[in-house]
Chain A
Amino acid sequence: MTPTALAMVEPLSQLTLGHFLLTSAALFVIGLVGFLTRRNMILMFLCTELMFQGAAIALIAFGRFHLDVSGQVFVIFVLTVAAAEAALALGLIVLLYRRKETLSAEAWSELKD
């Protein structure tokens, strides 16, 4: 058994998987905290994109660990949904900005009543 031939596809160790998952968890949590604390509507949506990033890293890390391309295919769909969401959310925000001339999320807090 020559080690060079086997080194072509090297399986990911559990530890490396854990490292990548930790990074993805950190990004997701930071995105969540940002979503909760920012008051600018556009930046709140940008923070959801940050959470998408965290999820994408986790998906790709698991796909690499199990040597399955499905993880990467899912990330393609995540990208699609993120693009669609950005288009729609930004359209809505432009509409809201025209009404009240502010991007503050609290300007629309009467919607919750």
Chain B
Amino acid sequence: MSPAILYAVCVLGALGLYLLVRRPRAAGTGTRLAAVAGILLGLGAFGWLVIGAAESIAPGQVGARPGVFYIMFSLVAVASAVRMITHTKPVYAALYFVLVVLASAGLFLLLEAEFLAFALIIVYAGAILITYLFVLMLAQQAPDPDNPTGQAEYDLFPREPAAGAVVGFILLALLSRMIFQGAGQLEGPDAYTAQVQAWNELTRMPERLKELIAEGGDEEITLGWGEEQPILTVAADGSATVHYRLASGEPKTLALAEEAMPENVQSVGLGLILKFPVSLELAGVILLMAMFGAVILARRQIELTEDEKRQAAGLRRLGHHDEPAPPRGGGG
């Protein structure tokens, strides 16, 4: 796809988004028409980008059409993201974000990241979004005679939709140009290397290997045959063999079954612990500090007078033993 067509498609997408986001103060008959036109333009632009990807990223690549599930999940994600930024009721916008999270969990499943797909649903849809909903409902304004729907003015009318759409267009044009140019030049591993990489995860889990060997009846073993022989070899058909020695020194091998391949959770956990141990600790510190910060921020701040501080510390008040305490000001 030539850059000119790509930019034109991005302009169409941005125009569609603008028509959807814009909400004129005097709602006329054109509003609904503009919304329909916006939906059509946005859908058309996204569809064109996905289809155009086939021609420009990998010409002649067979059998790599986007799958049904990819189309379904990404359409749901993009459509509900648009609905989220256009909906006038904040609670509904938050619920549409739940839909985005569910759809991208589906995309994660397609990418074989099962652990993260479910972690995303639990952490985002279950925890973060509930916090957002709580705050949204806490900050809801009660309906009054002037404003019977209870909807605030700042939810009804967007700020600078045209400028926002222009910024969005520039970013989308840059990103999709990079994707169209760059993705075709990336070199991924071929089928055999992929298999070797997947099996080699196992050599980092010696205890798991020993368990597998113990299931075959051999206990008290040493992995590997020596310096020159790797613990695990992968044949050309993708099957793996473990080499180990019995306590008597007799070398043996065990062909690994397909079920022995490390699962997603095992690989992610191992990667987390082996490659990023310090970051893991730092993440814990960040969460702890965020908790402290939130507690301190959300607490009502009460100014204490000098006397009250002394009393709280178990000291005697200054002067005036019998008089009632002076009225304190500045509370709240």
Point out residues on A near B: beta carbons under 8 Å. 1-2, 5-6, 8-23, 25-34, 36-40, 42-43, 45-47, 49-50, 53, 56-57, 60-61, 63-67, 69-70, 72-73, 75-77, 79-88, 90-95, 97, 101-106
Q: What A residues does B84 contact at CB under 8 A?
A: 34, 46-47, 50
Q: Does B238 contact A (CB under 8 A)?
A: yes
Task: Tell me whether A79 and B198 are in contact in the complex, defined as CB-CB below 8 angstroms, given that A22-B49, A42-B90, A84-B290 are known contacts.
Answer: no
Q: Are A18 and B180 in contact (CB under 8 A)?
A: yes
Q: Which of A6, A22, A104 contacts B191 (CB 8 A)?
A: A6
Q: Which of A6, A16, A66, A105 has the most CB of B within 10 A?
A: A16
Interface check B212, CB cutoff 8 A? no
- Complexed CA–CA distance, A105 and B168 (Å): 20
Q: Are A36 and B78 in contact (CB under 8 A)?
A: no
Q: Which residue of A lies closest to B271 (CB)?
A: A69
Q: Is B318 an interface residue (CB 8 A)?
A: no
Nearest CB in chain A: distance from B133 CB, A: 10
Interface residues of B, count at CB 8 A: 104
Chain B stretch 49-96: residues in CB contact (< 8 A) with chain A: 49-50, 53-54, 57-58, 61, 64, 66, 70, 74, 77-78, 81-82, 84-85, 90, 93-94
Q: Is the CB of B57 within 8 A of A18?
A: yes
Q: How far is the CB of B53 from chain A (nearest CB, A)?
A: 5
CA distance A36 to B159 in the complex (A): 7
B161 interfacial by beta-carbon distance below 8 Å: yes
- On whether A19 and B53 interact (CB within 8 A), knowing A30-B17, A86-B132, A104-B152, the answer reads yes
Contact string against A for B residues 282-302, beta-carbon threshold 8 Å, 1 for contact and 0 otherwise: 010011011101100110000
Besides A36-B168, A39-B155, A90-B131, 11 other CB < 8 A contacts?
A6-B191, A29-B175, A32-B167, A37-B85, A39-B158, A53-B100, A56-B120, A64-B111, A76-B268, A81-B286, A104-B153
Note all chain B residues with C-beta closer than 8 A to A37.
21, 85, 158-161, 164
B255-293 with Cβ < 8 A to chain A: 258, 261, 264, 267-268, 270-272, 275-276, 279, 283, 286-287, 289-291, 293
- A73 near B276 with CB under 8 A, answer yes
Q: How far is the CB of A60 from chain B (nearest CB, A)?
A: 5
Q: What are 22 sample pairs from A and B whose C-beta atoms fall under 8 A apart?
A: A8-B198, A8-B258, A16-B70, A17-B183, A22-B50, A29-B172, A30-B17, A36-B167, A38-B158, A39-B158, A39-B159, A43-B155, A46-B84, A64-B111, A66-B188, A72-B264, A79-B123, A84-B290, A88-B293, A91-B298, A102-B152, A102-B154
